[in-house]
């Protein structure tokens, strides 16, 4: 049985994963580990890979490392998933540089947040996002994550930015479902849930897909969830979401997602190390035990 495809699927995918950046002890990027991780994501139904975003430890990546990661993922995926480059910066000029470097490295799209820390007015947000979107030919997914940037993209701002020909989607990590529905109803923007705890809620309210941290280890279950909602099978969608609750809780509510998703991938043998760069630190033993229990619960037959 086929389910309807959304136009944004072709630009960004529907079952996106905010991929971690595998690292060796000491913090160097683990390129073989990254290749294995991309293979794992493709095998489990991921059709969009967000590279060098928050879960990829973007604040610790140099511009050269960020571009190299995009090139490595694009080279490994060979068109089997859309490669979405995270380009969060505090500085518009740096955002433009990173956007152009990502395009040159083979990115299919950009993931663009508000400038962090400086907390510009909304007209500054519009100017920043427009300048970065103007810098390349790539489609842009806005990333609305006020808990990290210190400022939200307000609904009028999103509506204004939707007129830009390359701004095509929103990753919503704000959690205001009514606002999301309002923007979806008043613009052509495709919405992607950026809060794993609310994936079903967003999909049921009209979101095109998810951009998931938990998808590092459960992209197959997210794919099932999206298919169920698109197919109108709410009962199955609810059952899938319920089955994921222990894992979502362990990954998203014990520590930072980059830390816990790396720990989960290492537990499963998909990457060799759970190394993170300071100021992040690896999961303590009690969080690891909770994570192991959650992984076992999700793997157990229903």
Residues annotated as part of the active site: 143, 171
SS3 of residue 171 by DSSP: strand
Both tokens assigned to 183:
């923007």
In sign, the C-alpha dihedral spanning 220, 108, 97, 164 is negative
Q: What is the DSSP letter of 60?
A: G
Q: How far is Cα 234 from Cα 61, in angstroms, rounded to an integer?
A: 40
The secondary element (H helix, E strand) that includes residue 2 is none
Name the nearest CA neighbour of 260 among 272, 244, 276, 278.
Answer: 276
Tokens of 294: 């959650």
- Kindly state the helix (H) or strand (E) to which residue 15 belongs, with its residue range: strand 15-18
CB contact set of 78 (below 8 Å; sequence gap of 6+): none
């Amino acid at each position: 049985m086929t389910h309807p495809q959304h136009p944004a699927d072709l630009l960004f995918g529907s079952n996106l994963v905010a991929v971690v950046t595998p690292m060796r002890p000491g913090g160097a990027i683990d390129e073989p580990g990254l290749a294995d991780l991309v293979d794992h994501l493709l095998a489990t139904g991921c059709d969009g890979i967000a590279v060098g975003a928050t879960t990829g430890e973007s604040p610790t990546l140099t511009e050269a490392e960020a571009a190299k990661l995009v090139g490595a993922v694009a080279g490994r995926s060979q068109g089997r998933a859309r490669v979405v480059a995270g380009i969060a910066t505090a500085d518009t000029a740096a955002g433009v540089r990173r956007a152009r470097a990502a395009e040159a490295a083979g990115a299919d799209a950009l993931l663009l947040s508000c400038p962090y820390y400086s907390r510009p007015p909304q007209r500054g947000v519009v100017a920043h996002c427009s300048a970065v979107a103007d810098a390349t030919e790539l489609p842009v997914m806005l990333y609305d994550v006020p808990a990290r940037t210190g400022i939200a993209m307000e609904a009028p701002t999103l509506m204004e930015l939707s007129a830009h020909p390359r701004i095509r989607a929103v990753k919503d990590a704000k959690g205001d479902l009514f606002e999301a529905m309002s923007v979806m109803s008043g613009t052509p923007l495709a919405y992607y849930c950026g809060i794993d705890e609310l994936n079903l809620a967003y999909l049921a309210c009209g979101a095109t897909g998810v951009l998931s941290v938990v998808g590092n280890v459960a992209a197959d279950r997210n794919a099932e969830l999206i298919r169920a909602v698109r197919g109108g099978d709410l009962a199955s969608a609810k059952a899938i979401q319920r089955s994921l609750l222990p894992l979502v809780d362990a990954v998203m509510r014990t520590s930072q997602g980059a830390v816990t998703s790396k720990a989960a991938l290492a537990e499963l043998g998909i990457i060799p190390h759970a190394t993170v760069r300071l100021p992040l630190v690896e999961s303590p033993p009690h969080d690891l035990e909770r994570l192991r229990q959650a992984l076992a619960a999700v793997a157990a037959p229903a």
